[in-house]
Amino acid sequence: MSENRAVHAVATMCRVLGVSPSGYHAWVKGTPSRRAREDAALRDRIVAIHAAAHGTYGAPRIHAELAADGIHVGRKRVARLMRAEGLAGVSRRRFVTTTVRDSARPAPDLVDRTFTADRPNALWVADITYVPTWAGFIYLSVVLDAFSRRIVGWSMATTLATKLVLDALNMALWQRRPKDVIHHSDQGSQYTSLAFGNRCREAGVRPSMGSVGDAYDNAMAESFFATLECELLERRRFKTHAEAKMAIFEFIEGFYNLRRRHSALGYLSPVDFERRHQEGRVRPRASEPAAVLAPVKARPQSVGVRGDAPATAGLDRRCARRRLRRAGRGEGTRSAGGAEQRNRTKTEDAMPSDHIA
């Protein structure tokens, strides 16, 4: 009606549309309702939280962040306002690859896919992945505490030498000073090396290794790499190794450990979860199903990948609603000699929201 006032009289349009002129004029002069004003303020806060999380948070984590700030609203309301602003969490893509071992199994599997711990420094999981840059690949090794999902050790290098995993282990030992901790990994040549085995014996670390080529045997470490992939690597391109190292340092030490909320931890960050555990305010809980992003133990050019590989586990279910048939960055490369592939299908528990990061 407002757009056609120059053509038709207001009274005529009101009579045709079946509304009263007084009602129309009251609507024109009216102010936003209390609900609309609250939504506007809440929308600004949601936008700020989403930006502070580097655009990775979905409705569940933003809802938890609001609750931590004392703003108690429904999660569906948060999801509605996010849709109105065009905001959403990031999604993960799945990979299929293989691990090349040196010889026979050097250590037993002490975990057997049970990624639970009742205290810090009881179980560590470790793995390696690669990060592409314009200057070539750079490799990242991490050690993760299964109790709090905290990255307790990590290192980066331009080669896959054993020093890569030794540096990550030494950083974890220096920071945590554990007693009788289990160190679980796959059977990559770096973890089966004599130097790594000797360092574990010196430090009183109990090595544990899953089977070859089965990502579910090290699912918790793969879950971290899936998070790193979808929240950082898929969203940025690095020109130099130094740029990649700085970005990963900021992600691990400035965001993931300190501030990123984990659904498996009751939407607390790893640091907050450990602090509350020390204060006796949280109880250990069972491990959540982990998303899977297969590891890399050889250069991507030498890793065997089947482009028509069957779909693997649903990654956080709602977060991976589009099932892709691509195998990842190493797609189309040839298999290294003696590599072994084993892919199993597994159904993950459904997450409770349509917007999940």
- How many beta carbons lie within 10 A of that of residue 332, not counting itself? 9
Residue 122: burial class (beta carbons within 10 Å; 0-12, 13-18, 19+): middle
SS3 93: coil
To the nearest whole percent, how much of the chain has pLDDT over 90?
Answer: 30
Contact 306, 95 (CB under 8 A): no
Question: pLDDT tens digit string along 252-308?
Answer: 999 999 989 888 888 899 999 999 998 887 665 544 444 444 444 444 554 443 344
pLDDT grade, residue 198 (50/70/90)? Answer: very high
Cite the beta strand spans of the chain per DSSP E: 123-131, 138-145, 150-157, 182-185, 206-209
Mean residue pLDDT across the chain:
77
d(CA 144, CA 3): 61
Whether the pLDDT of residue 327 is over 80: the answer is: no
pLDDT at residue number 168:
95
Evaluate whether the domain defined by 123-320 bears CATH number 3.30.420.10. yes
DSSP string, 59-87: HHHHHHHHHHTT----HHHHHHHHHHHT-
Question: pLDDT tens digit string along 75-111?
Answer: 898 888 888 888 887 765 544 343 445 555 678 889 8
Question: pLDDT tens digit string along 8-40?
Answer: 887 888 888 888 888 877 777 777 778 888 888
pLDDT at residue number 278:
87
Instruction: State the number of CA atoms in the 13 A half-sphere of 189 facing the CB.
Output: 15
The residue ranges of every structural domain in the chain are: 34-85, 123-320
Whether the pLDDT of residue 141 is over 80: the answer is: yes
pLDDT at residue number 35:
86
For residues 45-53, average pLDDT: 86
